[in-house]
Amino acid sequence: MADGIEKFYPQNDSMDLNKVLAQLREELENLDAAILSLERLHQEGPRRRGRPPKALSNLARAARAAKEEPDPDEPLQQG
């Protein structure tokens, strides 16, 4: 009967349990760091990247132009 067990669990090919535990702990640390990063990204909300849409760009340009033009109903300031 001992010969049958050794066929499935040979003594010379056994795993180093301490090495496996160390690898699992390291992987757990990596997963914790990844989870923390994802949680931070989720709390910050989506970031805007790149150019704004053309319609927004045109609105901003029109707003700047309106700011620079004097209001015809407003009296002119003399300095």
pTM, two decimal places: 0.40
Helix, strand, coil shares of the chain, percent, nearest 5, are 65, 0, 35
Q: Domain coordinates of the chain in residue numbers? A: 1-44
| Dist CA 3 CA 11 (whole Å) | 12
Mean pLDDT across 54-63: 74
pLDDT for 79 beyond 60: no
The per-residue pLDDT for 25 is 96
